[in-house]
Structure formats: C-alpha cells, structure tokens
Amino acid sequence: MNLIIDIGNTQAKVAVFEGNKMVFRIQTDAENIFKKIEEIQKKYENIEKAIVSSVGKLDKNSFETLKKDFQLLFLDHNTVLPFKNLYSTPKTLGIDRIALVCACVEKYANKNVLIIDAGTCITYDFITGDNEYYGGAISPGLRMRYKALHNQTAKLPLLSSKVPDGLIGNSTEQGIHSGVFNGVVFEIEGAIQTYRKKYGDLTVILTGGDTKMLSKQLKSSIFANSNHLLEGLNFILQFNTN
C-alpha cells in the first residue's frame, strides 16, 4: 500500500492507495499532518511506500522520521518523470502541475489532454498524445478574485464564493458574483474551445477545490475528478519504486 501526502497552499491532503485504487482520503491543516499520519498507520498497517509533495518550500527534515516506516520519496525537480518535459524553465514548474500531468500519462495514454486545476490559482496544463508536455497557463482562482476586488478597492465587500443567479447582477453583491464566477467560467470555456480548435481530439480534466462548483456550469464536455492530483502522485511513486 502507498501513502500519499500532498501539501497545498492552504491545506494538506493525505491518501492511501492499494495499487491504483484509493482506499482512504483526508484533508487537514498542515500543522496536524503528522498526527493524521500516525492515525492512518494504525489503521493501515500494510503501507510500505510514501511520497511527499509540497507546492511551497518543503522542510524535508520534518519528514525524516517516516523513513523508518516507509520507502520515502520526495517529489522535486530531480524526480524521474514518465513524460518528456518541454517546459523551458523546468525547475520553476509547480510540483502540483507535475503530478497532474503524470496522472494523465497513466489514465489517458496516447491522447491530447488539457488539465484544468481550479484551486487557489487556476492552472492549465497540456500534454500531447506523444507524451510531450508543453506547459499551459496560470490565472487567479475564484477566492483570489474575490479578495482582489475587496483589497484593491475602497468599498467593495469581501464575499464568499457563490454561483450567481444569472448573467446580470442587479446589486453590487450580485454584480461581484457574476463578474467573478461567470468570468472564470467564460475563461475556462474559452481555453477549452481554443485548445480544441488547435489540437482536435482533446480530453479535458477539471480538478481542484472548486471542481464541484464549476463543473455544473461548464457546457464543454469534461471529466471532473477532484482526486486527479493524488492519483498522479501515486503513479509517480509507483513509477520510481517498482
């Protein structure tokens, strides 16, 4: 069994895989992660391997104690990957984006794939059916847009994310919801259509914290999978240890 540890911008996710099947998943604050790992170890005694991924600077020393229990892999820019990386600055490529692409190598072999991760930021990553990764785009996520409107103006309130009632907001609050939420939907739809015009047969994956909220509003054909990144980390661990 494999232990998957993903430390994001706001929270951490910990999962357990048996082969390619996820049998456990939990989301927690980063400061509670070692307590949660101890609880998982008691529940799943057959865990042999573990991978740690972090979008920020990772203090590897804090995870050294795990080496006595697991074959431990830290995902970084020196990790062997199952695709050809054509990104011009590979050392600046986000660890989370690497994991997302790796999940596609296993699940969508020989297909052009666009992965859209809607979280703190919205990232777009493209890999061809020839297993070549070119890059993509990075834009502000839903919460970042709400915060920007509040922080960069004198009077606009800070609102919680909400699906707007329609296109036209008839109050300041409704106008903000329409501008932020519909703006993100229009952006994603536009990106999908542009990629499809250029690359024809295209598989689109939507993942990240805002997957559920956004997937219902998109008209384009997509696969919504909130666990796509965790699956990618599991594949990287298997690829490097088998």
Residue 60 has pLDDT above 80, yes or no: no
* Distances from the Cα of 66 to the Cα of 23, 52, 73, 96, 149, angstroms: 20, 10, 10, 21, 43
Which amino acid, residue 48? E
207 labelled binding-site residue: no
Q: Which of 118, 84, 120 is nearest to 101 (CA)?
A: 84
- Note the pLDDT of residue 168: 94
166 labelled binding-site residue: no
Question: Phi and psi at residue 122, in whole multiples of 5°?
Answer: -105, 115
Report the CATH architecture of 77-242: 2-Layer Sandwich (3.30)
Q: How far apart are CA 222 and CA 181, in angstroms?
A: 18
Tokens of 5: 């540890």
Q: How far apart are CA 94 and CA 100, in angstroms?
A: 10
Domain boundaries along the sequence of the chain: 1-74, 77-242
DSSP 8-state assignment for residue 80: -
The catalytic residue among 29, 59, 76, 96 is 96
Q: Map residue 195 onto helix, strand or coil.
A: helix
> Contact at 8 Å (CB) between 213 and 161?
yes
What percent of the chain is modeled with pLDDT above 70? 98
- Note the pLDDT of residue 57: 66
201 labelled binding-site residue: no
Q: How far apart are CA 120 and CA 124, in angstroms?
A: 13
Residue 137 has pLDDT above 90, yes or no: yes
The CATH class given to the 1-74 domain equals: alpha beta
207 burial level (CB within 10 Å; 0-12, 13-18, 19+): buried
Residue 188 has pLDDT above 90, yes or no: yes
Say whether 96 is catalytic.
yes
Same fold, 1-74 and 77-242: yes
Which amino acid, residue 72? L
Residue 58 has pLDDT above 70, yes or no: no
The predicted-structure confidence for 98-118, as pLDDT tens digits, reads as follows 999 999 988 898 999 999 999
**Average pLDDT rounded to a whole number, residues 12-40:** 90
Tally of CB atoms within 10 A around 54: 21
pLDDT band at 33 (very low <50, low <70, confident <90, very high): confident
145 labelled binding-site residue: no
pLDDT band at 61 (very low <50, low <70, confident <90, very high): confident
